[in-house]
Structure 1
Amino acid sequence: MKNLIRLEELVMFLLSIYLFSFLDYAWWIYLLLILTPDIGMLGYLINAQVGALTYNMFHHKGIALFIGFMGLWWSIPELQLASIILFGHASMDRIFGYGLKFSDNFKHTHLGDL
């Protein structure tokens, strides 16, 4: 099952790259921004509850899709870019087993313990 989930996430990561190709940005922008959602980990400097909240906000695919739909609806390419980066990053993390966090411990994720 773990490999099936990784394969599914790989397809979604590749989808983010494909969708990025429709935007009017240079390719290096994707490479530059793909790790930026990890700023959500800074919440762990406060405590595990805040860390889980901020991490999950930057790694939740539903939030990424909502931002993307708003970017399409309002024709704002920056929101579309943010959506693709958030979605792609969340997929990339899940390929490596990093899921959404529970508030008790960074290593306790919805995909199991790291």
Structure 2
Amino acid sequence: MKNLIKIEELTMFLLTIYLFSFLDYAWWVYLMLILTPDIGMLGYLINTKVGATTYNLFHHKGIAIIIGFLGIWWLIPELQLAGIILFGHSSMDRVFGYGLKFSDNFRHTHLGNL
């Protein structure tokens, strides 16, 4: 089952690369920004509860979809880009087993323990 989930997440990650190709940005922009959602880990400098909250905010696919659709609706390419990057990063993380975090420990995720 874990391999099936990883294949599904990899497919979603590849979808973001495809969607990015419709935006008017150079390819290096995707590569430069794909790790930026990890800024949410800075909350762990305060404590695990804040860290889990900020991490999950930057890695929640629903939020990524909403941001992307708002960019489409309002014709704001920066929001479209942000949605694609957030969604792609979340999918990439989940390919490697990193899921949304519980507040007790960074290694305790919705996909199991790391």
- Would you call these one fold, judging by a TM-score over 0.5? yes
Tell me the residue number matched to 1:33: 33
* Structure with more of its chain in strand, by fraction: 2
Q: CA deviation at 1:8?
A: 0.1
Q: CA deviation at 1:31?
A: 0.2
Structural RMSD (CA)? 0.2
Tell me the residue number matched to 1:91: 91
Tell me the residue number matched to 2:102: 102
Q: How does 1:41-60 map to 2 (within 5 A)?
A: 41-60=41-60
Aligned residues, how many?
Answer: 114
Q: Residue 106 of structure 1: SS of its match in structure 2? A: strand
Instruction: Name structure 1 gaps, 5 residues minimum.
Output: none
Tell me the residue number matched to 2:66: 66
Q: Give the distance between the partners of 1:20 and 1:70, measured in 2 at CA.
A: 16
Tell me the residue number matched to 1:7: 7
Q: Give the distance between the partners of 2:109 and 2:46, measured in 1 at CA.
A: 19
Q: Give the distance between the partners of 2:29 and 2:69, measured in 1 at CA.
A: 21
Q: Does 2:86 align with 1:113? A: no
Q: Give the distance between the partners of 2:69 and 2:103, measured in 1 at CA.
A: 29
Q: Give the distance between the partners of 1:91 and 1:106, measured in 2 at CA.
A: 18
* Runs of 4 or more consecutive aligned structure 1 residues displaced over 6 Å after TM superposition: none
Instruction: Name structure 2 gaps, 5 residues minimum.
Output: none
Q: Give the distance between the partners of 1:68 and 1:36, measured in 2 at CA.
A: 16
Q: Give the distance between the partners of 1:82 and 1:69, measured in 2 at CA.
A: 10
Q: Give the distance between the partners of 1:73 and 1:52, measured in 2 at CA.
A: 30
Q: Residue 3 of structure 2: SS of its match in structure 1? A: helix
Q: CA deviation at 1:44?
A: 0.1
Identity over the aligned pairs, expressed in percent? Answer: 82
Q: Deviations over 1:72-113 (max 9, x none)?
A: 110000000000000000000000000000000000000000
Q: Give the distance between the partners of 1:48 and 1:58, measured in 2 at CA.
A: 15
